[in-house]
Amino acid sequence: MLSRFLSCALALGFAAAATAQTFRSDEESFRVVRMAEGLEQPWCVSFLPDGRMLVTEKPGRLRVIANQKLLAAPVEGMPQVTVHGQGGFFDAIPHPQFEKNQLVYLSYAARGEGGVGTELARGRLAGNRLENVEVLFRQSPKSNAGVHFGGRIAFDRAGYLYLTLGDRGDMPRAQKHDDHAGSVIRLHDDGRVPADNPFVGKAGWKPEKLDLGHRNQQGAALNPATGVLWTHEHGPQGGDEINIIRAATNYGWPVITYGVNYGSGTRIGEGTHKEGMAQPIYYWVPSIAPSGMAFYAGDRFPKWKGDLFVGSLKFQLLVRLRLDGEKVVKEERMLHGVLGRIRDVRAGPDGYLYLTTDENPGVVARLEP
């Protein structure tokens, strides 16, 4: 009976592989493999040096994929996550020296004085448990708004830590000096503020801020060619942006934007340009609702090397951008409606592209040649 069951299972497996749907882009052909299903709004997928993967679920669970299988039990020892509107558990990223220190960095919404805000913590991953969890950063001030938490984490080549934040649905906060909202935060890996942050010692400024003028950044990736951080953010009705992050730069929101007010379509701020405020390197009108972003530098898809990939929540697709230095020269849209709302996009160390979907149930999928 068992041998018959195994034979049927193997036959079904081979049949499924044989009939797997193949997709063709302008440059490469690929198939979509669902690695994990039944997840609750998976926000992030990241990679450990031993081949395991970490997956976050919005309600506050950290899951592990080992040997290409999702482990049933969530990781224990998580900090308290507050699910509030768009807020919940965002990123879980290993330290660049994870093999030595076993540290994992977490971003999530948490309740505190004044309401809810984005926080950053780290803990040591021991088996299936986080130990010695400590909070490194708390967004201030908090509020009761349920939108625009940001929440992406990135490390640069020098080991500095970056956290993206949104304006929390209160547009003027993105231009306030004494407010973390609408900024990229830059820290040492232990949470200390670097002495060369641009606003350190400047009266009335939050020293953790690297820049200002963002609406809601839900994509962040280090350009492998330059080592410079790129982010993207949601616009209102139109005006999603990709920006190259540079210290002390004002990215304009809400003074300048390519978007307009929801419903009425009326202008926001002063137009699309203003002296002293940076222009995006690329923007979308109408909005695609971007989330997740990755530069592709692997060998599985040689014709995609150097391209930038962005997920779209609104149109349920994957965007491929061909770059010429800091200029986007071509856009291609793929996988429309195949997986659902794409929340995260990551380039794996194995050369595959990995996606998560903002669905319940959601999936972790990868693109294979």
Question: Active-site positions?
Answer: 148
d(CA 72, CA 176): 44
Distance, in Å, from the CA atom of 311 to the CA atom of 319, rounded to the nearest integer, reads 6
Report the distance separating Cα 152 and Cα 33, nearest Å.
25
Q: Which amino acid is at 75?
A: V
Which backbone phi and psi does 71 adopt, to 5 degrees? Answer: -70, 140
Yes or no: say if 336 and 317 are a contact pair by the CB < 8 Å rule.
yes
Q: Cα separation of 295 and 95, whole Å?
A: 19
- As a whole number of angstroms, the distance between CA 344 and CA 290 comes to 9
Which candidate, 211, 269, 210, places its Cα nearest to that of 236?
A: 269
Phi, psi of 68 (to 5 degrees): 65, 25
Q: How far apart are CA 243 and CA 3, in angstroms?
A: 57
Let me know: does 293 contact 230? Beta carbons within 8 Å: yes
Whose structure tokens read 């195994």? 6
**Measured at the alpha carbon of residue 355, what is the angle toward residues 247 and 89, in degrees to the nearest 5?**
65
Q: In angstroms, what is the C-alpha Rg of the chain?
A: 20
Give the helix/strand (H/E) hosting 301: none
Q: Which helix (H) or strand (E) holds 311?
A: strand 308-312
- Burial class, 92, CB count within 10 angstroms (exposed 0-12 / middle 13-18 / buried 19+): buried
State residue 14 phi and psi, 5-degree precision.
-65, -40
Helix (H) or strand (E) holding 280: none
**How far, in Å, CA of 334 to CA of 312, rounded?**
10
